Amino acid sequence: MNLHITKSKNAESFYICKSYVKANGCTTSTIVRKLGTLEQLLPEHGPTRNDVVAWAKNEVKTETEKYKKEKDAQTVLIPFHADRQLDYGKQALFRGGYLFLQSIYYQLQMNKICRKLKLKYKFKYDINAILSGLIYTRILEPCSKRSSYKAASGFLEKPSYGLHDVYRALDVLGAECDLIQPDVYKNSHFLGKRNDKILYYDCSNYYFETEQEDGIKKYGKSKEHRPNPVIQMGLFMDGDGIPLAFSLFPGNANEQTSLKPLEKKVLGDFGCQKFIYCSDAGLGSEAIREYNHMGERAYIVTQSIKKLKKEEKEWALNPQGFKRVSDGTPVDITTLPEDGKGLYYKEEPYTTKKLHQRLIITYSPKYALYQKSIRDKQIARAQKMLDSGNTKKNRKNPNDPARFIETMAVTKEGEAANIQHYLDETKIYEETRYDGLYAVCTDLLDDEVSDILKVGEGRWQIEECFRIMKTDFSARPVYLQDENRIRAHFLICFLALAIYRFLEKKLGCKYTCEELLETLKAINFAEIQEQGFIPLYKRETITDALHELCGFRTDYQFITKSKMRTIQKKSKRNE
């Protein structure tokens, strides 16, 4: 639509016109609506000619939008023939859930990062298409790189590259892994402010589908208890549960040594200087605490009560001196009902050779009841072991029920020693003393206890990050052998997790991981006679939320091919 103005001897007239192509290929136009003459329009839309022109242009815009809506809403008649067979090799089903992931991918400006790589390495293949395809399939259909290439062929936008290009791209992505992460972090601010004043750190390991050690693939203590070489990953996560940075190190290395190299990169390359470091006791050694006591950093780490010195341990296990966290009221925790609610604490200064800290002990009746129920089941299993005569202990498992079984040598005059097994009530009682108790250490000497505990409670999110990568994104077992490609594999898993987490956050964290992933996987389309697509998924509240978030809609009864191309362009828009 456009504004057409004609002038004659006596009047100046305004029209809304539409251009179109005639059957002979010539372009012409037709009048859609006459707006009136300048003389007629001045009283209502004046007082000047410029005011009338501005009003007329706005009318053209309104008419154009109305025309587009009517065109999109038009009825499409497509003939079907009951006696016509399907064409050989014709794909009719297409996956579209990736469009919503693509929206986050482009808001992170991953395409610009890929452009920098292309300028640096001068390769000809489309690394942006390869990386995005590998990320989308890692979320929607996690599988090997070869199978990911096949899975991407089912998307509305087919791969513009070959399988050999995928493996070439892995070499580049692995080599540039440490340089890509800071760029992703900086670009992530386009999606909103990062909660990077609190950083959680943890480690996990991933096993390989091989029995041969090589490079950083080493035999170590596997989280899955498998007899395979493993590789370890250290992961930093921000206060909102969004991954920040990761590093890989050999499977047989001490996980505590992994922190400083990665944290130095976060301090330098990422520019994060002021934050609270939060971790579990395994990554909260004295040396790590000292390191995070420097500069503008602080720490909140879990403290093992059993590893405290005798005096501090006796104080921690003493049921006296607790207060309610919500209002500071003194409470005798021995008088609390077994099924009671609420959280209680006590604290005292805790000084080591180089650090002045706060030791905070919390008590939760709900947690105590949970621990008691677990132990009761373990005691019952230990009794069954005694009854059956099988009292072999698994020393590698701290939760082995056989830990409650003790042995005693019984001798009678003139007879050989006889070994008897029994339940050790003393050991059982000793464990009950720790029920419901939890301890943290911090160098935040002036902060409110409730704020410190709230930060500590957020550690569950980093455990969930590892669970999503391992279970939902099938990050293990790893089949790749070359170290660069192994790094690329974990970079893809890391980026997939970041994109998923951003999508989850933008949806207000209203949906579980299972709900969100199942919805994205179900968003499929059937192509109809090459005219357009019919959605094959159920419209629900979650699909409405996804469309509202990403600024396009795919839930119409029929989507023309041109409309689908417009949707694809909108999903690649940087906002």
Whether 470 and 320 have beta carbons less than 8 Å apart is answered as: no
Residue 317 is predicted with a pLDDT of 95
Selection from 369, 363, 423 nearest residue 391 by Cα: 423
Residue 353 is predicted with a pLDDT of 83
Quick check: pTM over 0.85?
A: no
Do the strands 93-95 and 27-37 form a parallel or antiparallel pair, or are they unpaired?
Answer: unpaired
Selection from 34, 57, 31, 63 nearest residue 45 by Cα: 57
Residue 122 is predicted with a pLDDT of 92
Residue 411 is predicted with a pLDDT of 66
- Please state the separation of Cα 320 from the chain's center in Å: 42
Q: Which residues, 6 or more positions from 271, have their beta carbon under 8 angstroms from its beta carbon? A: none
Whether 11 and 26 have beta carbons less than 8 Å apart is answered as: no
Q: ∠529-534-536 over CA atoms, to 5°? A: 130
Residue 121 is predicted with a pLDDT of 93
DSSP character at residue 354: S
Helix axes 163-175, 483-506, angle to 10 degrees: 90
pLDDT digits (tens, 9 = 90+) for 161-185: 999 999 999 999 999 999 999 999 9
Kind and range of the H or E element at 427?
A: helix 425-432
Which neighbouring-strand residues pair with 27? 21
pLDDT digits (tens, 9 = 90+) for 203-221: 999 999 888 888 888 998 8
Q: ∠458-370-237 over CA atoms, to 5°? A: 15
**What does the alpha-carbon distance between residue 122 and residue 120 come to, in Å, rounded to a whole number?**
6
User: Residues of the chain whose pLDDT is less than 50?
Assistant: none
Residue 293 is predicted with a pLDDT of 95
Selection from 470, 519, 476 nearest residue 497 by Cα: 470
Residue 74 is predicted with a pLDDT of 65
